[in-house]
A and B are shown apart, each in its own frame.
Chain A
Amino acid sequence: MPTFVYMTRCDGCGHCVDICPSDIMHIDKTYRRAYNIEPNMCWECYSCVKACPQHAIDVRGYADFAPLGHSVRVDRDEEKGTIAWRIKFRNGTEKDFLSPITTKPWGQAIPQLAEVPGPSQEMRDSQLLYNEPKYIRMDDGGLHTLETNGLKMKKGVYY
């Protein structure tokens, strides 16, 4: 299932509503807290779980095939650029994992293409995309020209 929200932790901030790709995290008008309005359209993608500043959202595996008594918790830290997972099995076994999520400060390594020198007519007339051919082969060897090695129609064309 999908995600569910702990009553005492949620403060109704709406971060989960804002991020859910399936449009199923909504604010309950009575309690002013978030809840999953359509569990059978939940992909357990954890976007809302990661986005919740209160760690108020958790996941209980789909009732069709997942027994109770497990948990998969996550802490995504944009500052540090890491994501930490803790898996707790039904039988109590625990496993922890930690992975990087980015190697650069957010957004700073992406160029503003409005400000780079625009394409020449020659580039427009060629098959090149932005930053090519340099970015196809980032070695110092021969640049890849995008030309084919002589593609030609071979026999066996059927109608």
Chain B
Amino acid sequence: MAYKTIVEDGIDILVVGAGLGGTGAAWEARFWGQDKKIVIAEKANIDRSGAVAQGLYAINCYMGTRWGENNPEDHVRYARIDLMGLVREDLLFDMARHVDSTVHQFEEWGLPIMRNPKTGTYLREGRWQIMIHGESYKPIVAEAAKKSADKVFNRICVTHLLMDDSKENRVAGAVGFNVRTGNYHVFKSKTVICGAGGASNIFKPRSVGEGSGRTWYAPWSSASAYGLMIEAGAKMTQMENRIVLARFKDGYGPVGAYFLHLKTYTQNGLGEEYESKWFPELQKMVGKEYLDPEASHLTHRPIPTCLRNHALISEVNAGRGPIHMVTMHAFQDPHLEEVGWENFLGMTVGQAVLWAATDVDPKYENPELTTSEPYVMGSHATCSGAWCSGPEDISPPEYFWGYNRMTTIEGLFGAGDAVGGTPHAFSSGSFTEGRLAAKAACKYIDDGKAEGIVVSDEQISRRRKEIYTPLEHYKIYRNEIVAGDVNPHYINPKQGLDRLQKLMDEYCGGVTVSYMTNEKLLHIGLKKLKILEEDLQSIAAKDIHELLRAWELKHRHRAAECVTQHTLFRKETRWPGYYYRGDAMKVDDENWHVLTVSRRDPNTGEYTMEKAPCYHLVGEDE
């Protein structure tokens, strides 16, 4: 192969993936490490990459302490109840106490944040959300990251983390290839901040044709955050805690602004309110501690999102679908109508395209809602990610090993989707986590923890060989057949992805089985995942673009396996509406009020599962 090897050496902080987490890390790192070499490796183009590529209409995590709106502790309570009690409260609190400074900076950089004309405060969508004109949110934060970084490598698909050959369990950089030139890139670095993406497309999507690209989370979020870290042997937490979204049907347009700002509401196909009808039965499943409609009426305590999903799913399964969002009242107000449309144009243009195509005008017709396929990601409103150390001032011993947001691999930090146990971070929280990780990474270097790292030539050449294998396979076996993609020696990335999605859907609780699984199904799923892994050794890529898809699939597969292991381990149904264990249909606080932690041994591929304590640091009462 004529691809060059390009080595970038002497890096202090390598940021892998420049979404909101990575840009936050790169930007802040410059302040704490003015003498340090900061390099970004990004799969696409930093100006439009990650989950916020097309924009965002709201910042969903903003305390507003300057206006006396919320304290960080309030946010911990909210996220904790929404996730049925199981969160990393130290990490959550830490993010919440810093997030406002992030948002205030965004405004200073030019992000248009809407103001309440009466009070002068930011215009609230809900208790935690503020409304923005965020079409250029990503280009603005990318600008900040570019100002801080020494170098930005766009179009680098990072495939593996490099490990230190002189000291076990210490990171030494990363490798990948350029999706334009095909060149092999080696980044030797003292620390790595993983800001890569969570997972869309590991479960079969509702649309499987052309529309399979219209996922709720970006299709380029290829589970690389998890693929990279699991492969390196990092401990992961709460990977079973996948998320299912109730969204406008087919386009997956967001509903937050509709519920909160436009005050729209849902009803079943008969025009009835249905949610509350399911609560008594649901309360028997989860207990009063997690579902207390009366208390929710009296206070601001939210009904957990998964339980509202459960009501929607149950109502549809009872034959009283479709579920509609009642928009006809709100849209009579021209201002609210404008908000409703701009909400989509700012972050889910595909939904506007769909309504235009189907002549749905919410002013005259109530649009349909549905629940999405499951996603695995740690930044939006769920917990999946790496098991990370918390800050030194508040974390209990089991949650603390020296450096904030450092994984169980020395020198490897996380931000955004990569960090487990911190739901409701969203864009601003992810950026904030990146900032926290950057400060900690600089401290790690300054403390002399990154001395004497050795990366052997053997490791570098082994990874190089591995990366290009799919191209070799194609070259060797392609001409055995006349034409087409049916080959006895290999599968292509699309075929592999279809297989992964089908088995995850059927065995791990996807949309076609109404999110239901059990121990038996999960064991079969693991077996099939193992065989798929063998076949992925024979994956073929006809060009560099397919090579990118092949590696995305490998990352997705690794994340899917971890999700299945975790789902098998937690023998209860903690989040009805996200998934169900048919053989353990209740919340079991006695045995499972814990965080699940896994580690895959990089040498043997075996998983070790353990329970970690779920400490509550914040009291009940506001």
Interface residues of A (CB under 8 A from B): 1-2, 18-24, 26, 37-47, 59, 61-72, 74, 76, 83, 85, 87-91, 93, 95, 97, 99-107, 109-114, 116, 118-119, 124, 127, 129-133, 135-139, 141, 144, 146, 148-149, 151-154, 156-159
Contact = CB atoms under 8 A, between A and B. Distances in A.
Residues of A contacting B: mostly: loop
Contacts of A63: 209-211
A23 B591 CA distance: 46
B93 A132 contact: no
Interface stretch (B23-31, B255-263, B277-285): B23-31
Interface stretch (B42-50, B311-319, B530-538): B42-50
B104 A135 contact: yes
Contacts of A23: 43-44, 155, 179, 220, 545, 548
Interface in B398-413: none
A24 B207 CA distance: 19
B110 interface: yes
B357 A66 contact: yes
B617 A61 contact: no
Contact of B354 (A61, A135, A141): A61
Contacts of A159: 594, 611, 613
25 contacts: A18-B45, A40-B210, A62-B350, A63-B211, A64-B211, A65-B354, A66-B357, A89-B361, A90-B356, A93-B361, A100-B112, A102-B111, A106-B110, A107-B147, A110-B144, A118-B34, A127-B391, A129-B439, A131-B101, A132-B98, A148-B97, A152-B617, A153-B615, A154-B620, A158-B591
Contacts of B359: 89-91, 93
B101 A40 contact: no
A110 B213 contact: no
Given A44-B349, A45-B349, A99-B133, A153 B220 contact: no
B185 to A, nearest CB: 16
Given A62-B250, A110-B109, 5 more contacts: A23-B220, A47-B54, A62-B209, A66-B353, A129-B436
A76 B135 contact: yes
Contacts of A44: 213-214, 349-350, 353
A118 B107 CA distance: 23
Contact of A99 (B45, B110, B135, B358): B135
Interface in B429-444: 435-436, 439, 443
Contacts of B31: 113, 116, 118-119, 130
A93 B143 CA distance: 38
Most buried by A among B53, B356, B590: B356
A99 B346 contact: yes
Contact of A153 (B30, B345, B617): B617
- Identify the 9 closest CB pairs spanning chains A and B, nearest first: A104-B110, A62-B211, A64-B211, A45-B54, A135-B101, A44-B350, A66-B357, A113-B30, A158-B593
Interface string B584-596: 0000011111100
A113 to B, nearest CB: 4
B98 A151 contact: no
Contacts of A66: 211, 250, 353-354, 357-358
B357 A67 contact: yes
Interface in B548-602: 548-549, 589-594
A87 B48 contact: no
B65 interface: yes
A102 B140 contact: yes
Given A39-B213, A114-B148, A137 B47 contact: no
A113 B33 CA distance: 9
A155 to B, nearest CB: 8
A66 B615 CA distance: 48
B105 interface: yes
Contacts of A37: 545
Most buried by B among A1, A44, A137: A44
A79 to B, nearest CB: 13
A42 B213 contact: yes
Contacts of A19: 45, 47-48
Contacts of A68: 357
B349 A72 contact: yes
A47 B136 CA distance: 10
A40 B179 contact: no
B15 interface: no
Contacts of B250: 62, 64-66
Given A99-B135, A127-B393, A43 B28 contact: no
B545 A136 contact: no
B28 A148 contact: no
Contact of A136 (B28, B34, B65, B396): B65
Contacts of A71: 356
Contacts of A149: 71, 73
Given A19-B47, A40-B210, A130-B435, A87 B352 contact: yes
Contact of A156 (B47, B345, B591, B616): B616
Contacts of B592: 158
B147 A61 contact: no
A42 B212 CA distance: 8
Interface in B119-159: 133, 135-136, 139-140, 143-144, 147-148, 155
Contacts of A101: 112, 133, 135-136
Nearest to B47: A19
A87 B358 contact: no
A23 B34 CA distance: 33
A135 B105 contact: yes
B448 interface: no
Contact of B143 (A24, A41, A59, A106): A106
B191 to A, nearest CB: 16
B317 to A, nearest CB: 22
A85 B350 CA distance: 13
Interface string B518-540: 00000000000000000000000
Nearest to A68: B357
B274 interface: no
B108 interface: yes
Nearest to A134: B101
A21 B32 contact: no
Given A23-B545, A89-B361, A110 B617 contact: no
Contacts of B394: 148, 151
A151 B399 CA distance: 15
B78 interface: no
Contact of B350 (A41, A43, A132, A156): A43
B357 A90 contact: yes
A1 B354 CA distance: 11
B545 A131 contact: no
B480 interface: no
Contacts of B48: 19-21, 45, 47
B253 to A, nearest CB: 11
